[in-house]
Structure 1
Amino acid sequence: MSVLIQPAELAEALAGAHPPVVLDARYPGPAATGNGLPAFEAAHIPGSVWVDVDTELAGPHLGPGGRHPLPDPEAFAAAMRRVGVRHDRGVVVLDAANSLAAARLWWLLRDAGHEDVRVLDGGFAAWERAGGVVATGPAKAATEGDFAGRPGRLPIVGPTEIQALIESGVDPRLWDVRTPERYRGESEPIDPVAGHIPGARNLPATTLFEDDGTFLPADRLRTALAGVNASDTLYCGSGLTAAQVLLAMEVAGVAEGVRLYPGSWSDWISSPDRPVATG
């Protein structure tokens, strides 16, 4: 079964005897104010529940950990129970279009042990283009779920390990998935320091999608991702886009062993002792 689900397939599943839990993680982006709730209430998939990226899919930004540190495991489990996640029921996650926020939720659920999590390819925009039924207004309260996941199923790496590799002269095998301008340090619209982690290569996430926000076909993804090896590490600005690229690798069937640096660049630069490269 593909990790992606198409709008027609989701519509059929929702009409079945055991419909999936549908979670909408629409998010206006790091440079925007507010959250995705107004967009959700203006139009959403019937029966879906909105999840807040900043408060439920990330922990408080009170220090190291970056702009979107991983949430406390118990807080995340409680949030998932609130929105109806159960161990015996599939979950479909989505966002506005390009799976940026949905990928974070997909990764968190898989890391915590939920085996049946799929992502709506193209998000809510694809659902609307396909003529899917749309509801408006606040979501109805979900039936309390029984999710009690524990994180640690998926490989991650932290700054201490990366810095030790750099200082010892070993290639850290890092892939910075931000835009080339941010990678080179020519433009930094979000974080206070520009540049990249020394030794990192650039793999822009934007090259992995069609113009409408859907993923490239699997064979084209495999070509685009051919340089990434098992045990390599993905990072971005705050961890969201890195999860998006890991999802693309899952679509392509080449994600096994690839690690995530959850705090990413915004965590790396939180310590002045860590080296920064530009160009």
Structure 2
Amino acid sequence: MPLLPGAEPFAHQGSDTGVLLCHGFTGCPQSLRPWAEHLAGQGLTVSLPLLPGHGTRWQDMRHTGWQDWYATVERELRELTGRCERVVVCGLSMGGALALRLAARHGPAVDGVVVVNPALTFPRWQGYALGPLRYVLPSVRGITSDIAKPGRREAGYDRVSLHGAYAMRQLLALVRADLPRVTQPLLVLTSRVDHVVPTSDSALVLASTGSADVTERVLEDSYHVATLDHDAERIFQEADAFITRLATRATRKTGS
């Protein structure tokens, strides 16, 4: 099946600091590629995989579930930890949920977490209806390209598979339950205006994780896909400072 433009995975071999980037639901690596290329330009080792069922056509999501999406990023994490001294996991929207699950489940293998407009909840009434509805209504209108910057588009599906939405709802429930197990340093970047994910999801992350090292930044000039929006450079800079701080701290501890 041909990929959407920009949906190709991205990988770069660099320093002993690795960064894993997780894209969002119905999106693809295109939404995070500028960030990945920036990190590679900083000399870091970078992995930006394509989640199964994404980056092709919305019908393909019917044949995948959250277990497939999580298995993909978990495999990339293991590969990075085998090559790097430290690994930071990052994610946009549902990718933020995947990053948080990796941190909760893999503990010391993850040195830090960066999430941008993380998705953690699902509208209650829609969620209850998804179970039976997904068998009679295959899809609804898409949710991509919530971007304030004129002329910018997100490569993603124009329809949302209800089977995929049901799988995401299952994932988000598991991640919410696991938040207290996230104890790594955490950077949360939240758009002031987001038409896809409520800002209260970021507040839930801030209130529920077990991390004692939490930084919050509000993005004033971007919508949901902030990594392609006006605040993209700020996201890159904030993440750079966060990753540098973690690397410096690790160096001091080892005395090297």
Q: Normalization by structure 2: what TM-score?
A: 0.35
Q: Normalization by structure 1: what TM-score?
A: 0.33
Structure with greater helix percent: 2
Structure with greater strand percent: 2
Higher-Rg structure is 1
